[in-house]
Amino acid sequence: TGQLFIVATPIGNLSDITHRAIEVLNTVDIIAAEDTRHSGRLLQHYGINTRLIALHEHNETQKKAWVIEQLKTGLDIALISDAGTPLISDPGFPLVNSCRESGLVVTPVPGACAVVAALCASGLPTDAFQFCGFLPVKTLAKENALNAIQDTRKTSIFYEAPRRIRDTLATIARCLQAERQIVVAKELTKSFEQFFKGTAQQALQWLDEEPQREKGEFVLLIGPAEQNDSGIPPEAVKLLSSLTPLMP
């Protein structure tokens, strides 16, 4: 039988692709891409002429069976997404899961991933972290997701759309302790890459300083909750910290 390769592609800078990724993309029989037009440009850049098929969240359940059939006939297939590592907030989970259940060989070809790129340069603790994907869009669900990390002692990482970054920072300012450290990492590996580190309130001010700052691709990182060994309930600590600015 053939192998399914999970191949990471760049998240901005076209040079962020490994030698092995290029070799695999050149030698497999089929490349399954999230968006064939988008990936066509990347493949053209590297002179790769492998047959391309579309596998995205809307056709994955149907396409999956076909891909598995091809693997069983002995063809090798590479899965790529529009950017970074497939399956990380991208299609591919049902396919990989089914391949594993069918005893097929699934091989990772690692490379760029926005979560790891943002974390390693953020200056936030890296010893323990959780990736939470995209935050919910609706206010209540978003507040619940943020309240859930109130006492989390690890760095929490989210993807966020540019049109929601301001609202999300305001929600963080409302839900979490005022001094909680956050990092906004934008346009990673691209010409206008930027990191902002501070409180949610300071991040909002930073956005206000230049309208351009709200545009682009964002990773949002929230530092670990401060250790609270005082015996005071976390809600009381939060209340006290929200009152601090009002004290003389």
Return the number of the residue (93 or 233) whose C-beta is nearest ligand SAM. 93
Return the number of the residue (56 or 154) whose C-beta is nearest ligand SAM. 56
How far from 146 is each of 128, 150, 160, 163, 248, CA to CA, in Å?
Answer: 18, 7, 13, 18, 30
CB 6 within 8 A of CB 102: no
Tell me which residues touch ligand SAM (CB under 6 A): 11-12, 81, 83-85, 88-90, 113-115, 159-161, 185-190, 217-219
| CA dihedral over 93, 5, 155, 221, signed as positive or negative | negative
CB 6 within 8 A of CB 92: yes
In the complex, least distance from residue 190 CB atom to ligand SAM, rounded to whole angstroms: 6
Return the number of the residue (14 or 236) whose C-beta is nearest ligand SAM. 14
Q: How far apart are CA 149 and CA 130, in angstroms?
A: 10
In the complex, least distance from residue 163 CB atom to ligand SAM, rounded to whole angstroms: 11
Q: How far apart are CA 47 and CA 26, in angstroms?
A: 9
Return the number of the residue (190 or 215) whose C-beta is nearest ligand SAM. 190
Q: Go through the chain and tell me how many residues it has.
A: 248
Please identify the residue of the shown chain whose CB is closest to the bound ligand SAM: 84
In the complex, least distance from residue 195 CB atom to ligand SAM, rounded to whole angstroms: 10
In the complex, least distance from residue 8 CB atom to ligand SAM, rounded to whole angstroms: 7
